[in-house]
Structure 1
């Protein structure tokens, strides 16, 4: 059964060990899905306000950035499996920490050192480690297809996880458990998933099976990776203005949505995002990785800006769903692009180096959004997010239209 499932999920010419990474990504994605929706409700139930939601999100992303920096600096000294096992153990500790604490400062400490993810994408310590491992499991178009499946699994699992955000409400209605206690149970589920991921990573070989390339710090590709990292940081800052936790808070405050209803919306949004990520591989073969990243991203940002001025809930949700159908097509193509324009030995360092500015830039933004929402400027985060993302897309196209990824023919470079 496992063999048949791995054959369906994996493209041709991919190392079988990549299947374990897809399973781990799916389990983690489910947890990220319901945590992103439940986090603001949990903090509000503890008696905190909008600023606390922003602070927790900011602290979490800063901690992820620091962990990613360490991976880039010293990660080549350790086996990737060892680092993945450590990350999974940290995920378990994070879940138990949030389940058992109620004061803001202890929660901020756990958020900083832990793996909590308040956004729709994976911005944790796992990201550069798994990306580097996946990049070594395939080449050319097969690598793009593998990243697309990785993103698809993450998107689908996050969608079903968001749907699970309604479970605490059901539990509290049909039992004597309070809503706050029911949400704490979900953090215990998060901790348990971290332990299961630890068991999955433990089965991985210490070294990827199909490569003898030593891992080295950035060298020949430093210039191009630096430029990519700077541009990615703009995109990440924009995205940080509207991580899923803050978008949930915005929907709750502007339209009075319950966490369960918000979870249903994010479920639909996640399904659309997952489907679009699967289509990204096919589209990139036709128009190229860079064009796929840019020309699907700009319309999604326009939908987000329009949602800020929408007068009704129905129209707002429709615009946000349209955004979801396009906004994530750049995720697998971006990862594949980075891995394709650097030398094989530099891939782990490049994955970390491009992830660090993203995490740092994204970390600054949630607190700013929390302040804006607290002041009653409800549309400001959406407009700023959309405008900055459009500026990023245009800058990326201009700066890299002449850079040819590995295995991509010249007519698909965006010339």
Structure 2
């Protein structure tokens, strides 16, 4: 069964759900999970999981869950993954602590795309699912919100260090999300009457003393002007110490940070830059696109109008040594960069991305880079110019002076690579992708 994997899908905002609670000791793990599964099957609808995974992956069914629990029960705690094979993509985890009473229970789910929840009926069923869980299990805290905006809000630490955050949890109303469940302790600290009078789409007292609060009918319109005003008004109601205008301004700034930015990358580096925004948190993606739109790499300077003549006594042996260097690079990286075997412009872009993603210049020792990686990469880059652009090697005893003649210029691949391998920023400033396209313009 092939499940939908987020890393294989286009980058889009997602709905993030977290539920922290506990369950009383029961005779079986099945009994502990029964109310969760009942609610999921009754209200999951179009986002209902169809695959369950523990030690093995199975098609979703109660029988499959029983088998998975049987396999997991010896570990003291149980974690079950739930997924979908068709859109919307789902990555859901049910975590149940040891047999102590009460046992900790955690539910986390991520659904892509967030736009799936533009329809109010889907949101209503989602709310009903969470409400049903909270009616059967004591929930200490729960939230559901767009992932990007949640990141911008500073969750889960909200300005605290990790140790403090884990110790104190959601001990005050740091932020209001689309869907919230506040546990009894927090409700009492805020004031039950104040909590239940919050201006919101839905406010409901739950059996264990918790309160369910939903800001708007739809989860997907959180960034609209109307939604931000409602969010600020509710937040300030629960936190009278906060200033409404300040809260609203912060929310609007978050909305502005998520407005889609059209990629307009410099054409010589566009194949490389277009792959980078997806490497950042989804909340940072638009800002990074804007930064890369503004990026202009330095002009390529690794060339000469008139080349130095070859000064090597045995050109065939030198070319053979370059071939050995290049083959060594291919052997070392062919599993991580499969296209390296093709020696094309696309191979160079794949190498740019690999070295940047790996932060290669700053992760490995300078001795390794200068004595092994850079010479091998320079030889490989030169071979690509020869093979794809009709270049000719002009060999020199000093490696950085060796040239590849293309058109009326001679180009210095080893010098380019030395500059390229100085830092992560230099991978952008002196990319192999840009170098190839600069040389390409002078191809006869």
Shorter chain as denominator, the TM-score bin is under 0.3
Higher helix proportion, which one?
1
Q: TM-score, normalised by structure 1?
A: 0.27
Higher strand proportion, which one?
2
Max radius of gyration: which structure? 2
Q: TM-score, normalised by structure 2?
A: 0.26
